[in-house]
Structure 1
């Protein structure tokens, strides 16, 4: 069984509004053992809506439509569905009464245009909307040589869509006998191609569990998807895959699910009662934002001083200019540790003011350092490539250097 999600609205196709409904629906369908094969966004055009829905009905067994059920002239979902099945729209008196009562409870006068929200393609079933004025639509559309396509049209308002899906759609969907579960492992310090090479046959297409690789701001995420007849069967497959991934990418793997590098670092520091100081001369505030976002969870664990001033952590940057790079950033980290009286300190060295094009083509390497009880460690990264993610790359390189220096049993 395969699903397609159709998001209707020119506000989505124009980019004015982000389509979060499709993401949520895909996750819910996956939990029911129904994979989503297609996401389609369509503008408020009747001809395009009809063509889109006809294609969806033909290639998917379950079609969930969001949006286009309001009372305005650009709300075309009900008309498009009626056209697809070649049936007229008919007024449902019970639905009309419910809509009228909704307006009375809110102390509002119902417009004549709202009557159209009580019209449904002949033969369809209204889906109750307990918190909005737009009922949904349930249709089972016959297909030649196939089982009927199950179609649910829901309002685009996320709170209404989610409740109606759970209460009205899920009970109408057939049990698939299949469970789909997912798990994520995050890595830093390797690229997609290197990760794929190290994982070998683990990323082969059609493998169960399937392991996919994605990248975001230099973080590599391995997405494990397991299918089975039960939660236990899926979990066993995921556990086996996790073990294989960690054994091959142990040097780079740092966290799972929603964990970021900064979370892993601060959690480990908090466990041992240690503190962190940061002299940031290169990330333009990225480190401060990343660590600051965790202040409520790990209060007082990290203190960041920026490097835009002449003096950082009591050290004149000009005094460091004569040092070779490794010594300069290492001295800055050591001075930061002493000045802030922390257990560990990170430092990122300043680099020349370059244009985005110059950054993309540069061969310059930026160095980061960690100063701790056992001395100073220095690492570097080339700044060439995508300038938009350079601050994140520098910050993550510094955090990862510290992560690898900290005790690993909690990571």
Structure 2
């Protein structure tokens, strides 16, 4: 058996489908996979996108296997004639497809649970190149394929073919593919993740504050991503046991909180500031309503997404303070806030006065403008803050709404 020197593995991500090459669909799978593969310590060196042509698929897989240790592909595993991944892999390694009874039984059971008759065409989804392994799909009828491809003088390239449906792809990668990659790279057999959320700091400043913590060779690894002005730090620990992973993550969390405590607001992939505000209000048995002036109502949407929560009483959205004063038939803005607090029977009021118009060209950043944020406390005292903010129209209103929630959290604390 040929021995290969220990080195960092490389990866290529392949996205399959005419909808990708035509631009009809945004390729979010490749973005997600690149981040997750990188968190496992594997260097993503290439992205490839290919349409639904068999010869092109064979070429793309052949090139990827020749230059990357790990290949992760999404798409082309459905039952229709334009789903060509399994056939392309079969041709590439010159091995025929064979039926896998375990996969066939699972596909049949999925149709039975849905009280639907399985079309004969779905049988093709249980076909695998000889010598490949199945990647179980707990949510759909398209199992994935795990195939090793021999390379002269090098370690075999390993291809993981996954469905294009994001929810299925994510779960299959986390539950099956990631552990297999870690075993190949010599890492531990267990992988655990934790996500910490921050607002109020830019990505470059966050990287500077964290220093060596986000080094690619650190263990646990800390990855940084930004979405809608919110920073997520994803901690990935690999070890032999879940307990060791948990201990490593806990220690890393403590280190991070020592470096950037003032911007942290919670944990979890889907955790946002509205959840942090709600938790604080619930603990205090208090409630909130929101007022949004200008032409946006993001706070109302975000807090409404909490569902039936005793912490949120509702909100209003109006164009100007004059509209609010006139609607309530009061003398001024302060009286209007008092009246809204009374009518909504809320302890706290959060007001954005007001979102600036987004009437510039879509690609043109908007100049800085003053936006007033007001928090009215249960006793009637108003806490005011003016932020000067600008930026791209696609994100400006979200930044203002999140800054308002950060100000409310500061007052609540």
1:139-177 deviation digits (Å, cap 9, x = unpaired): 432222233334354555678878988999899889455
Does residue 187 of the first structure (1) align with residue 188 of the second (2)?
Answer: no
1:204-283 alignment runs, 5 A limit:
204-257=215-268, 258-282=270-294
Which residue number corresponds to residue 384 of structure 2? 378
Q: Equivalent residue for 2:306?
A: 294
Deviation at 1:287, TM superposition (A): 1.0
The answer to whether the 8 Å contact 2:210/2:259 transfers is yes
**Residue number in structure 2 paired with 1:45:** 53
Deviation at 1:230, TM superposition (A): 3.2
| Structure 1 stretch displaced more, 373-382 or 133-142 | 133-142
Matching residue of 1:307: 318
Q: Please give the per-residue CA displacement for 1:10-52, whole angstroms capped at 9, x wherever unaligned.
A: 1233344466766887899899x78573654321233432232
**Conserved? CA contact 2:350–2:373, under 8 Å:** yes
What does residue range 58-73 of structure 1 map to in structure 2 within 5 Å?
Answer: 58-69=66-77, 73=81
Where structure 1 has 5 or more consecutive residues not aligned to the other structure, the ranges are 321-327
- Structure 1 position 58, deviation (Å): 2.7
Cα distance between partner residues in 1 of 2:238 and 2:181? 19
Tell me the TM-score normalised to structure 2 length: 0.74
8 Å contact from structure 1 (residues 71, 117) kept in 2 = yes
Where in structure 2 are the equivalents of 1:307-346 lying within 5 Å? Answer: 307-308=318-319, 310-312=322-324, 320=332, 333-334=337-338, 336-346=340-350
Indicate the residue corresponding to 2:367 in structure 1. Answer: 362
Distance 1:116 1:365, change over 3 A: closer
Determine the C-alpha separation between the residues in 2 that align with 1:217 and 1:160. 25
User: Partner residue of 2:85?
Assistant: 77
* Residues 24 and 278 of structure 1: CA distance in aligned 2, closer, same or farther (over 3 Å): closer
Whether the 8 Å contact between 2:100 and 2:127 is mirrored in structure 1 is no
**In 2, are the aligned partners of 1:3 and 1:34 still within 8 Å (CA)?**
no
Alignment of 1:40-189 (within 5 A): 40-69=48-77, 73-85=81-93, 87=94, 89=96, 92=98, 110=120, 123-125=130-132, 139-153=147-161, 156=164, 175=183, 176-178=186-188, 179-189=190-200
Larger Rg: 1
1:75-98 Cα shifts (integer Å, max 9, x gaps): 33344324423x2646x5888xx6
Deviates more, 1:7-16 or 1:36-45: 36-45
> Given the superposition, is the C-alpha separation of residues 139 and 24 from structure 1 closer, same or farther in structure 2, using an over 3 Å criterion?
same
Secondary structure of the residue aligned to 1:224 is: strand
On the 8 A contact 1:26/1:35 being kept in 2, the answer is no
Counterpart residue number, 1:323: none
Give the structure-1-normalised TM-score.
0.75
Cα deviation, residue 388, structure 1: 1.8
Please identify, of 199-208 and 18-27, the stretch whose mean Cα deviation from structure 2 is larger.
Answer: 18-27
User: What is the rounded CA distance, in whole Å, between the counterparts of 2:306 and 2:393 in structure 1?
Assistant: 26
Question: Hey, what does 1:11 align to over in structure 2?
Answer: 19
Distance 1:347 1:168, change over 3 A: closer
Does the C-alpha gap of structure 1 residues 334 and 185 become closer, same or farther in structure 2, counting only changes over 3 Å?
farther
- Change in Cα spacing, 1:29 to 1:210, as seen in structure 2 (3 Å) is closer
Q: Is the 8 A contact 1:185 1:256 kept in 2?
A: yes
Deviation at 1:301? Answer: 2.7
Task: Work out the CA distance in 2 between the residues paired with 1:216 and 1:167.
Answer: 25
How many residues of Structure 1 are paired with residues of Structure 2 in the alignment? Answer: 390
